[in-house]
Amino acid sequence: MTSTTDIHPAAFPPRLQAAGTTDAPFRPLLDATALPEGTMRRVTVGELDVLLVNTDHGVFATEDRCPHMSAPLSIGELDGCIVSCPLHEGRFDLVSGDTAQMPTTGGLDADGTYHPTWSPAGKDPKVDPPGKKAEARRLTRVRRLRYYPVRIADGAIEVAIPER
Can you give the binding site for ligand FES, defined by CB under 6 A?
Answer: 66, 68-69, 71, 85, 87-88, 90, 103
Measured from the CB atom, the residue of 60 and 92 that comes closer to ligand FES is 92
Least CB distance to ligand FES at residue 103 (A): 4
**Closest CB to ligand FES among residues 30, 73:** 73
Nearer to ligand FES, 32 or 40 (CB): 40
We find the least distance from the C-beta atom of residue 2 to ligand FES, in angstroms, to be 28
CB atoms within 10 A of CB 93: 16
CA 81 to chain centroid, in Å, comes to 10
Give CA–CA dist 131/44, Å, rounded. 36
Q: How far apart are CA 120 and CA 118, in angstroms?
A: 7
CA distance 27 to 45: 9
